[in-house]
Amino acid sequence: MKYRILAAATLVAALSAGAELNACGDKYLLSSWSLSFDQLYRAPNPGAVIIYAPAGSPAASKGYTNLQTLLTRAGHRVTIAQSVAELARVVSQLKADIVLADFSETAAITPGLPTTGAAPMVLPVMALASKAETAACKQRYPCQLKSADKPEKFVSTVNSAMKSRAKVLALKALRGN
């Protein structure tokens, strides 16, 4: 009897090896393959991303090499700026779409960014912050990133920001602004 149950279970597993398996809502798993990073995080709207990490800051000491690599693999052009002057120069040269900067640095970099046309979107990164700082960040920015987040969350947040930016720019183009 045990052998018949084992044989039946083996037969069912063999027959369903290539079948679609429903899992958690809208996700589908195929038991014969999985998604790679490039398939999962490929940017539908690749853009120019600048990481502002001034010398001596916690961001620079942390090193953004892993984040830079993952954003590049997703399809974005990534540049690291280490001063406000360099940031302004790189933004104008590359026509930057997104600037990643520490929330404490956003007040220093905002005056150097263009405000007309296709101004870059600033995505602040929150370190350990008080409730008041978090509330202030949420009022001014779509603040979703924390310095403790995994690089994959940074990539998916940049991808969604680029998607919403593309919609806004398309609406502006339709209106003639």
Residue among 143, 132, 124, 155 nearest 59 (CA): 124
* Lowest-confidence pick of 9-18, 99-108, 149-158: 9-18
What residue spans define the domains of the chain?
43-154
Higher per-residue confidence, 138 vs 17? 138
pLDDT more than 90, % of the chain: 0
Higher per-residue confidence, 44 vs 90? 90
Q: Which two tokens stand for residue 172?
A: 């502006």
pLDDT, one tens digit per residue, over 58-79 is 555 555 777 888 888 888 888 8
Characterize the bridge pairing of strands 121-126 and 98-102.
parallel
Q: Which two tokens stand for residue 23?
A: 């899992």
* Whether 121 contacts 99, CB under 8 Å: yes
In the predicted structure, residue 100 carries a pLDDT above the cut 80: yes
DSSP class of 146: E
Work out the pLDDT band at 26, boundaries 50, 70, 90: very low
Backbone angles phi, psi at 148, to 5 degrees: -85, -5
Q: Which two tokens stand for residue 60?
A: 């620079």
Q: Which residues pair with 79 in a beta bridge?
A: 50
Residue 8: predicted pLDDT: 67
Residue 89: predicted pLDDT: 86
Q: Which two tokens stand for residue 78?
A: 């990534």
Provide the residue type at 169 as one letter. Answer: L
pLDDT, one tens digit per residue, over 116-171 is 667 788 888 887 777 888 888 888 887 668 877 777 888 888 888 888 888 877 88
Provide the residue type at 104 as one letter. Answer: S
Q: What homologous superfamily is domain 43-154 in, according to CATH?
A: Response regulator (3.40.50.2300)
* Whether 81 contacts 87, CB under 8 Å: yes
Mean per-residue pLDDT over the chain, rounded: 75
Q: Which residues pair with 22 in a beta bridge?
A: 28
